[in-house]
Amino acid sequence: MNEDESNQRPAQSDVAPGDLQGPPDVAGAVVRYLLGFALAAGLTLVSFYITHSTLVWQPSIPIALSVLAVAQMGVHLVFFIHLTSGPDNVNNIMALAFGLLIVILLVLGSLWIMTHLNHTLMPMDRMMRMQ
């Protein structure tokens, strides 16, 4: 191995769970999948526990569930979809960002339309009297 090849290989601490380094390691892949499964199941169980306990202040439960949902998405992206920040995953990250943009635009646009219609439509009791 020459000096150029050793400079391009990432250090062991720079390797993400989804990055492949050399021949596939089946035992290591199974361990990573099991770790991802344990994290996902743990986050799901914590979500159910939070909704049925008094551990979290009642008005903040939606915020806690949102944080746990984002963590759950991160676990799925890293451990199951193998989306990492490596140079070979730039297109995947751009596709994910574009998909998130589309979802955000759809949700915000729908909320805006529903709010606008709620303010401009005639109330239901007046509409029923007209018929």
In a shared domain, residues 36 and 69: yes
Question: Same domain for 94 and 44?
Answer: no
Give domain status of residue 53, yes or no: yes
More confident residue, 22 or 92: 92
Same domain, 58 and 117: no
Are 54 and 28 part of one and the same domain? yes
Instruction: Name the burial class of residue 124, with classes exposed (0-12), middle (13-18) and buried (19+) by CB atoms within 10 angstroms of its CB.
Output: exposed
Categorise residue 71: left if φ over 0, alpha if ψ from -120 to 50, beta otherwise. alpha
If asked whether residues 103 and 51 sit together in one domain, one would say: no
Instruction: Write the pLDDT tens digit of every residue in 60-90.
Output: 999 999 999 999 999 999 999 888 777 777 8
Q: Containing domain of residue 124, as a range?
A: 85-131
Reported as a single tens digit per residue, the pLDDT across 19-61 is 666 677 888 889 999 999 999 999 999 999 999 998 889 999 9
pLDDT at 121: 80
Rounded alpha-carbon distances, angstroms, from residue 10 to 14, 33, 80 = 6, 22, 22
On whether both 73 and 22 belong to a single domain, the answer is: yes
Domain count, the chain: 2
Mutual angle of helices 61-75 and 26-51, in 10-degree steps? 170
Q: Is the pLDDT of residue 1 over 60?
A: no
Among 78, 77, 48, 79, smallest CA distance to 64 is for 48
Predicted confidence band of residue 119 (pLDDT cuts 50, 70, 90):
confident
- Note whether 46 and 95 are same-domain residues: no
Same-domain status, 53 and 103? no
Establish if 11 belongs to a structural domain: no
When pLDDT is averaged across residues 102-130 and rounded to a whole number, the result is: 87
Tell me: pLDDT of 14 over 90.
no
Check residue 107 and give its pLDDT: 94
92 shares a domain with 67: no
Residues 78 and 108 in one domain: no
